[in-house]
Amino acid sequence: MNPAAWSATLAWFFLAVGPGLVIGNTVFGKPEAGLENWLLRMPSLWGWSLIAWATGVLLIWFLAYKLELSTAADLVVARRADRPRMPEYDHAMKAGELHRLLWTVIVLGGAVTLISWTFG
């Protein structure tokens, strides 16, 4: 991807979504100045957010159409003739392992019960 596109995207995220949004609180006039002193006749943060929204739409258009990030790649994926097989393993537990697991669960459950009764 084009380095200018990365830069524009990161700058937009910083200014429109991230910490740069604080800049918009005073760029078009102080928040407490009132309607007469606001450059856009609306609170500065509102104007900053509207401008950020509009530039975001333009950024998406630029990335999608001008840099062609919305188009599919022109490559054909060839089908494999033979399907790879997974090795077959015997996952069944042996009887001894199953008994050890059962007794471990019983002992741990008893220990947790005993501790909870002891300490309330």
Q: 15-24 pLDDT, tens per residue? A: 998 888 888 8
76-120 pLDDT, tens digit per residue, is 888 888 877 877 766 676 778 888 999 999 999 999 999 999 987
**Domain positions in the chain:** 3-66
pLDDT of residue 93: 67
Q: Which two tokens stand for residue 36?
A: 């007469």
Let me know: does 44 contact 24? Beta carbons within 8 Å.
Answer: yes
List pLDDT tens digits, range 24-38: 888 888 878 777 888
| Residue 59 identity (one-letter amino acid) | L
Q: Using CA atoms, how far apart are residues 103 and 113, in angstroms rounded to an integer?
A: 15
- Cα separation, 104 vs 55, in Å, equals 62
pLDDT for residue 54: 96
